[in-house]
Amino acid sequence: MKIKFRLNGRDVEADVHPSETLLETIRDRFEITSPKGACTQGVCGLCVVLVDGEPLKSCLVLTPEVQDSTVTTLEGIKDERIETVRESFVEKHGFQCGFCTPAFILRTYTLLGRKLSREEIREELKGTLCRCTGYKAIVDSVEEALIKVRE
Amino acid sequence: MSLLPNFKLELPTDLKEAISELAGGNVVIAAGATRVLLMSYMHILRPEVVVSIRRIGLREIKVSDELEVEANVTLSAVARNERVRKEFPLVAASASHVADPLVRNKATVVGNVVNAVPYSSMVPAFLLMDGKAKVVGPSGPREISAKDFFVGPLETAQRPDELVTSLTFRRVEGEWGFTEFRTDSQLPIINVGVLRNKKGKVRVAYTGLTAMPNLLDLGTMPSDFRGGYREVRNILQDLSTQVLDDLRSSAEYRLHLASVLTARLLEGMGR
Amino acid sequence: MTDIERVDALDKVTGRALYVYDLKFPGMLYAALVKSTVPHGIIKKVDPSRALAREGVEAVITGSQLSHVRAGIYIQDRTPMAAEKVRYLGEPVAAVLARDLRSAREAAEMVEVDYHELSAVVDPREALREGAPLVHEKLQEYHRYQEIKPLPNSNVANVFRLRKGDAQSILQRSDLVVEDTYTEAMISHAYMEPMSVIAWWNPDGTLELWTSAQSPFAVRNLLSKALELSESRIVVHVPYVGGGFGGKAGLHLELLVALLSKAVGGRPVKLTLSREDNFYVAPSKVGVSAEGKVGLSKEGKILALMVNYLVDAGAYADYAVNVGKTMGYIGAGPYDVPNVWIDSTTVYTNKPFATAFRGFGILEAHWVVERLLETASRKLGVDPVQFRLMNRLRPGSTTSTGQRITEGSGDLAKCLQVAADMVGWGSRKSSSHPTYVGRGVALAMKGPSVPPYNSAQAYLKFNEDGTLDVSVGTTEIGQGTMTSIVQLVAEEFGIQPNKVRVDLVKDTSRSAYTWQTVGSRSLFYDGNAVLAAVDDAKSQIRRIASKVFNVEEEEISIGGGKVFVKGGSRALDLKDVVMGYVTANGNVIGSPVVGRGSFVVPDLTYLDSQGQGNPFPVITFGAQSVEVEVDVLTGVVKVNKYVGVFDLGRVVNRGLAMDQLVGGAVMAISLALNESIKFDEGGAILNPNLVDYKVAEIGDVNDNLIGVFLENPDPKGPRGARGIGENALLGIPAAIGNAIYDAIGVSVRDLPITPERLWREIRAQRPELLEV
């Protein structure tokens, strides 16, 4: 199926299988590596991308569904506030092996501007797994990023 | 990564076209498509044709003396909607329990009900609030009431050539409660919703208890009601031979949990 | 020391860090596996014709084509794929190679395999029975590590025996004997990056591999033996690794993928497991059942301990035999017990197989020993904390293998006191039906479980501007050792950490050697090796500077990025010395500095027939405590608070050490409460997915995870330090079990403690709690 969408700021076209997921398309056809398929069973949430600004699991999106949509991965975020998010993750040790890190950083980006308690941060970030950190340092990082951006 | 099995994908752009796509039968309808994809990944489903209704509109949440949620409305949209939260809190709360925010951004309220999966979060509210499914088929529209909607395990009164275009939920004045219980699975073992109307009449609905959803009358209970485990357990005894027994929970534990969780909801409502 | 920023930070937070999962090469073929549909059976026929006819498919390779090659770290019981027979449901029997993954996966479904099914043995107890189906018929013929002794014509891969004193007769004379049986489920490591390997043969016969592995040098060594190819002809690349937790130690899919590449003329071949395949094809943690018996004096002194472990390895025991052995030789763990009797029997079953897991048998043993001793102390009416203090190992006492404890292992008593105090041991608990609060403690003791000869190299070379490049063999799997290495080196020269570059990704042809990245050994072994390299470089620098300044070498000091004469005012920048000092007339004093170092612990021993000897290069003590809340009506356990206290000798980077402590705690809580691979009677996995295999989510745990580090320097450690990666888990499951007993008086013996399981225990042991 021929489809067109906007990917990280440029218009792209691809001829995809009907049952091809957005995760496959952006990794295999466009060689964008930050979204990872750690389970490709709809659980791990490491494949998160923004579709028209909404974070979705790209293994649960059929590529033909994003016709005419805007798709953004961590690579495509040009807003300088993303640097604040990154700094916060570095400072607060919000990662270890790093495999889930692009997903958590992209999801944190979607929360910027909001004022959230630690409990609310945990609620908002449900759906992405991390096997290394025990999450505490991730929550620290997100909390820090939200405060810094608000300031 | 896991790959989805090959299937044909149809993306009709209006309702009429969508209905005509269904005519052949043997197709799977997808709105958010999360169930189709998840079940395919888990080898439970191997569709030949998927008809995605994403491009046919039906994205509205309509609030009047009832709540109407159209087929492409996501769970997130309902959970976040201020009027729904205020006026139909049980619907909003149920929607906000499904999976996680990423899944809720794609999965729909209608899908969560019409798939009739035993772990559905929305079905208890649909039953308790005298819901109706608005259905369109080749011979035109019809309505199916919630109590007639579920006809067997994973089976509904929706015919293969029909599409559920929206669900309605009746406005109920009174108190409500909703809870789910998950253990060592991402999917809940059981979902429980309760409603007490202004006259004190209490109804409870479950998914996950038996293969089909359950709606039960618990009679009249005062607002300072306490306890209830025994009462609920006695009422549920009739169902005991049908209670699900699977990987996630034994029947015995499910039955016990249903009673405990219901009793807690009943107590919680009065406070 | 002051923490420095993680050296892998920017790659990871920008999403630019590349894992094998992300890599591809021109002309690369994708492999997909054809998996057995029966748990045990003779392969009668593999028909690849339909698959070969599919567009995009280049080759189908069957297990029997590769059956001439065997591999394994402790026992070579595996061929790259099943050849004559399959030993578990899901075992690869053939691989399809295609130009794209979709073609490969679809074609794999088209390969037809006929089996003559054999009766299978799924339960390890059944596997021990006389006449049980044999998983391996020619067990005794397998090449193996010297301490491993399979029993011919049985399913027993190894029996490890430890005998210290005379436990059997002392037990008969003890004032109190307590016995119980414990079980632990098989568990998935659930590292986020699935196993992934690319193999590519060069025209000169050199094999290049990119693998998501913890131990590139072990991969190289084991491949070299299996392929009869010299180690210098094998180059193993390990880029960033998306988690390992023991599951990526040793050799896994590398051999298969290397042979697949060879079979297609050396083209690059990539195999990445889907999550489902990762449950079947990649190994998990062993399953355990254990019968324990302890004898005490009425004063509460432990007189004797007996434990009989049965370790379920699944169909291959390659690495599991050593897990089973370690479970045995940790013996009574951190307790001073004069009489210890341990049997640890590792058996084969027709199930997916098991390997190393963070904690390596010692985690499993802590569940048994700490629960059993808790029960004993409660029966005797001795406070569990006092009981532990009384019976603990201390400097001068010996472990169950007879290894002597020194001051260097730190202050175990203090660890326990702090852990108990901070969790509120002895203070009031606010329980109200149906929610009960309880507290539990457990001690923790571990050393790396390694062969005595295991070792590490390191080197560093200076650049013209005085910056330097450091190489160690250990891999960055998330634990942060690379950062600690940089910190140690920067501190030694007194330079900014950003002037020290470490080889974050490994290439066995260039990186310094280390045995494996396992067992919390990296900071100790690689850290010591790198300090030796620093010392070597420093002596070269001193030699040059002594000539420049015309003083004795002993008078030269190095620090603050400078080389100077002690007590004097003369100083040179490092950069003016490290490439050789150029004099005014152009002569050069010295030559460029390359520091080399290595490390081995010379006095470790194999264990003798009684399980006695010195196995641990280093021992780390700790104590762990939890407060739990038990909802008796649902069986749900919540960990309200966790305190982990470890004497690390010295903490190099506090933040990183805390990351291990917290991350390890959540992993341990998750596996204690939720995680198990569930099998049906035919050996099929019922939950080969992250839907029904539950890994802790962000909302499942709280922030109340507290770490305390004591620092009694270990003279053997690099600047006194020891690692913590595995230690972080050890006592937590038992502390939770002990806390549940403290809360409701119900004894749990089986892991995981799922709500339904606990509810059943409550109903059996304290039915009155369920009355409503």
Q: Closest by alpha carbon to C611, among C149, C16, C123, C15?
A: C149
Q: Closest by alpha carbon to C101, among A27, A30, A103?
A: A27
Find the mean pLDDT for residues C692-710.
Answer: 96
For chain C, which chains pass the contact test of at least 3 CB pairs under 8 Å? Answer: A, B
Residue C654: pLDDT band with limits 50, 70, 90: very high
Residue C277 has which token pair? 């395949």
What residue ranges do the domains of chain A occupy? 2-76, 81-150
Task: Tell me if the pTM is above 0.90.
Answer: yes
Q: Which backbone phi and psi does A141 adopt, to 5 degrees?
A: -65, -45
Find the mean pLDDT for residues C499-522.
Answer: 96
Element (H, E) at C319: none
Are residues C666 and C728 in contact, defined by beta-carbon separation less than 8 angstroms? Answer: no
How far, in Å, CA of A42 to CA of A20, rounded?
14
Report strand pairing: C500-502 vs C468-472.
parallel
Residues of B in contact with C752 (CB under 8 A): 184
> Largest alpha-carbon pair distance within chain C?
97
Instruction: Establish whether the linkage from the previous residue to A102 is cis, with ω within 30° of 0.
Output: no
Task: Give the model confidence (pLDDT) of C249-292 as tens digits.
Answer: 999 999 999 999 999 999 999 999 999 999 999 999 999 999 99
Q: Do B33 and A60 touch (CB under 8 A)?
A: yes
User: Which residues lie below 8 Å from residue C688, measured CB to CB, with a gap of 6+?
Assistant: C275, C276, C279, C280
B185 lies within 8 A of chain C by CB:
yes
Element (H, E) at C13: helix C9-13
* Tokens 């979607």, located at residue: A110
User: Which residues lie below 8 Å from residue C133, measured CB to CB, with a gap of 6+?
Assistant: C40, C118, C119, C120, C121, C350
Find the mean pLDDT for residues C532-561.
Answer: 97
Q: What is the pLDDT of residue C772?
A: 72
Q: Could you list the pLDDT tens digit for every one of the 271 residues in chain B?
A: 789 999 999 999 999 999 999 987 679 999 999 999 999 999 999 999 999 999 999 999 999 999 999 999 999 999 999 999 999 999 999 999 999 999 999 999 999 999 999 999 999 999 999 999 999 999 999 999 999 999 999 999 999 999 999 999 999 999 999 999 999 999 999 999 999 999 989 999 999 999 999 999 988 887 666 677 888 899 899 999 999 999 999 999 999 999 999 999 998 885 5
Residue A18 has which token pair? 């009907």
Q: Do C692 and B181 touch (CB under 8 A)?
A: no
Complex ipTM tops 0.95: yes
Find the mean pLDDT for residues C364-379.
Answer: 98
B64 lies within 8 A of chain C by CB:
no
Q: Which residues pair with B203 in a beta bridge?
A: B195, B217
* Tokens 């180059």, located at residue: C235
Find the mean pLDDT for residues C377-392.
Answer: 97
Cα-based distances in Å from A137 to A90, C508, C638, C694: 10, 33, 20, 21
Q: Do B185 and C274 touch (CB under 8 A)?
A: no
Residue C655: pLDDT band with limits 50, 70, 90: very high
Residue A109: pLDDT band with limits 50, 70, 90: very high
Find the mean pLDDT for residues C225-240.
Answer: 97
Does the domain made of B174-269 have the CATH classification 3.30.390.50? yes
3-class SS letters over C126-140 = HHHCCCCCCCCCCHH
Q: Which residues pair with A3 in a beta bridge?
A: A14
Q: Which backbone phi and psi does C564 adopt, to 5 degrees?
A: -145, 165
Tell me which of A2, A5, A15, A19 to substitute to probe the interface with B (most B C-beta atoms closer than 10 Å). A19
**Dihedral angle sign, alpha carbons of residues C618, C619, C620, C626:** positive
CA dihedral B234, B239, B244, B248 (to 10 degrees): -20
Please tell me whether residue C317 adopts helix, strand or coil conformation. coil
Cα-based distances in Å from C93 to C54, C348, C487, C651, C670: 19, 19, 47, 48, 33
Please tell me whether residue B38 adopts helix, strand or coil conformation. helix
Q: What's the gap in Å between the CA of C698 and the closest CA on chain B?
A: 11
Are residues C725 and C362 in contact, defined by beta-carbon separation less than 8 angstroms? Answer: no
Please tell me whether residue C312 adopts helix, strand or coil conformation. strand
What's the number of CA atoms in the CB half-sphere (13 Å) around residue B197?
13
Residues of B in contact with C435 (CB under 8 A): none
Q: What is the pLDDT of residue B26?
A: 78
Mind listing the domains of chain C with CATH numbers?
9-118+195-272 (3.90.1170.50), 284-450+606-770 (3.30.365.10), 455-600 (3.30.365.10)
Q: What's the gap in Å between the CA of B56 and the closest CA on chain A?
A: 12
Q: Do B41 and A55 touch (CB under 8 A)?
A: no
Residues of A in contact with B100 (CB under 8 A): 45, 126-127
How far, in Å, CA of C146 to CA of C318, rounded?
13
* One-letter amino acid of B101: P
DSSP code per residue over C449-469: ---TT-EEEEEEEE-TTS-EE
Q: What is the pLDDT of residue B270?
A: 54
Please state at what angle helix C654-673 crosses helix A136-150, rounded to 10 degrees.
120
Scan residues 77-96 of A and list those with Cβ closer than 8 Å to B.
none
**Which class would CATH give A81-150?**
mainly alpha
Q: Do C192 and A102 touch (CB under 8 A)?
A: no
Long-range contacts of A9-12 (CB under 8 A, 24+ apart): A9/A76, A9/A78
Cα-based distances in Å from A120 to A124, B104, C569, C638: 6, 16, 59, 19
pLDDT over threshold 90, residue C761 = yes
How far, in Å, CA of B32 to CA of B34, rounded?
5
How far, in Å, CA of C358 to CA of C477, rounded?
13
Element (H, E) at C241: none
Domain B57-170: give its CATH architecture.
Answer: 2-Layer Sandwich (3.30)
The conformational region for residue C163 under phi > 0 = left, psi -120 to 50 = alpha, else beta, is beta
Nearest CA in chain B to A127: B100
Q: Do C274 and B247 touch (CB under 8 A)?
A: no
pLDDT over threshold 60, residue C337 = yes
Flag the least confident range among B74-78, B170-174, C50-54, C336-340.
Answer: B170-174
pLDDT over threshold 90, residue C766 = yes
Task: Give the model confidence (pLDDT) of C482-498 as tens digits.
Answer: 999 999 999 999 999 99
Are residues C615 and C605 in contact, defined by beta-carbon separation less than 8 angstroms? Answer: yes
Find the mean pLDDT for residues C96-111.
Answer: 97
Residue C698 has which token pair? 């962000």
Q: Do B102 and A128 touch (CB under 8 A)?
A: yes
> Largest alpha-carbon pair distance within chain A?
47
**Which class would CATH give A2-76?**
alpha beta
Q: Closest by alpha carbon to C318, among C285, C355, C284, C282?
A: C355
How far, in Å, CA of C210 to CA of C671, rounded?
30
Q: Which residues pair with C446 in a beta bridge?
A: C620
Q: Closest by alpha carbon to C618, among C599, C593, C634?
A: C599
CA dihedral B10, B16, B21, B27 (to 10 degrees): 90
B39 lies within 8 A of chain C by CB:
no
Long-range contacts of C424-433 (CB under 8 A, 24+ apart): C424/C627, C425/C385, C425/C625, C426/C383, C429/C743, C431/C743, C433/C632, C433/C769
Q: Do A60 and B37 touch (CB under 8 A)?
A: yes
B98 lies within 8 A of chain C by CB:
no
How far, in Å, CA of C689 to CA of C243, rounded?
17
Does the domain made of B8-55 have the CATH classification 3.30.1490? no
Q: What's the gap in Å between the CA of B260 and the closest CA on chain C?
A: 7
* One-letter amino acid of B99: A
